[in-house]
């Protein structure tokens, strides 16, 4: 659902009108994103490279088609990228712009959809958390002059327990298992020196699941965030990275999750049908899916 939405908003992608199945190519890319680099047919790494190659070819063909016949009015984000490419003082090149579109398509659907799915899993297994979340959002609706109105910015900012639940979900889920940085100078750490130019892999789960930082780290406990900063990164919470390369979409991801949870708990009930088992490969996966049945709440 999220992939279809973001595909339309970013590049006006429509599966029924396209010769390329964009989602299948991205799934192949994701499955081999952190895999043994054996580039022969049949391996996850090979499929990963082929998936990216097909998506990039599709984006390049789209860019050339738009240049040949530009839209009179901007209909998606790609149009704004093309407009920027025309500027004399732009830092964008064709290669950078295509990489940008690829990264946005990947980041906008894969991470958010996984986080929402595991949030539903945690709520299903934790009736107390579900009850408090539901009460928070039903209270928001009761305060409205028009109950059917959309969520306002003021209402969004008031969702304290929702943000606690989102942080705890991200802490436990560790959607991004590794963050890469390059040492720009020699770095001394204890008795070791990391030479300039070396690539460093930061492992967020090592921090998020450390009992020194979090009591009972494997326990789902959104109440542990009470009274804490719920928006910024720190040395003990880096679900969206940190520093100068902090995820530019962090606030948008939180907004997506909060609005989804608001609609979910105020309009629906659900029960598990099957699945829900979680494995890491090393990213988060539901090998048997997570199947739930939804029921509309009676007003």
Tokens of 187: 């770095």
The angle, 0 to 180 degrees and rounded to 10, between the axes of the packed helices 77-85 and 94-106 is: 160
Three-state secondary structure call for residue 176: coil
| Alpha carbon distance 119, 257 (integer Å) | 9
| Alpha carbon distance 88, 78 (integer Å) | 18
| Alpha carbon distance 173, 210 (integer Å) | 14
The answer to whether 247 is annotated as binding is yes
Three-state secondary structure call for residue 78: helix
Tokens of 164: 């606690």
CB atoms within 10 A of CB 22: 21
Tokens of 234: 């720190």
Binding site for heme: residue ranges?
Answer: 247
Binding site: residue ranges?
Answer: 247
């Amino acid at each position: 659902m999220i992939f279809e939405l973001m595909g339309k908003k970013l590049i006006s992608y429509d599966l029924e009108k396209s010769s390329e199945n964009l989602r299948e190519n991205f799934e192949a890319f994701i499955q081999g994103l952190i895999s043994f680099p054996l580039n022969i047919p049949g391996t996850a790494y090979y499929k990963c490279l082929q998936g990216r190659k097909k998506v990039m070819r599709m984006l390049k063909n789209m860019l050339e088609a738009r240049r040949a016949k530009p839209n009179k009015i901007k209909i998606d984000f790609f149009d704004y990228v093309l407009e920027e490419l025309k500027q004399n003082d732009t830092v964008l090149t064709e290669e950078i712009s295509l990489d940008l579109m690829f990264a946005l398509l990947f980041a906008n659907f894969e991470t958010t959809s996984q986080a929402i799915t595991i949030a539903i899993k945690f709520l299903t297994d934790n009736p107390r958390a579900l009850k408090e979340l539901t009460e928070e959002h039903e209270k928001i609706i009761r305060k409205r002059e028009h109950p059917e109105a959309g969520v306002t910015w003021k209402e969004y900012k008031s969702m304290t327990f929702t943000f606690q639940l989102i942080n705890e979900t991200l802490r436990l889920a560790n959607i991004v298992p590794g963050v890469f940085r390059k040492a720009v100078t020699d770095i001394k750490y204890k008795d070791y020196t990391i030479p300039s130019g070396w690539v460093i892999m930061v492992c967020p789960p090592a921090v998020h699941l450390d009992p020194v930082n979090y009591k009972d780290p494997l326990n789902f406990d959104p109440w542990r965030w009470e009274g804490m900063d719920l928006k910024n990164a720190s040395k003990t919470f880096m679900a969206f990275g940190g520093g100068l390369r902090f995820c530019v979409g962090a606030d948008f991801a939180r907004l997506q999750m909060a609005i989804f949870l608001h609609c979910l708990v105020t309009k629906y009930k659900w029960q598990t049908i099957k699945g829900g088992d979680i494995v890491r490969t090393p990213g988060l996966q539901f090998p048997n899916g997570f199947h739930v049945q939804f029921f509309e709440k009676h007003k």
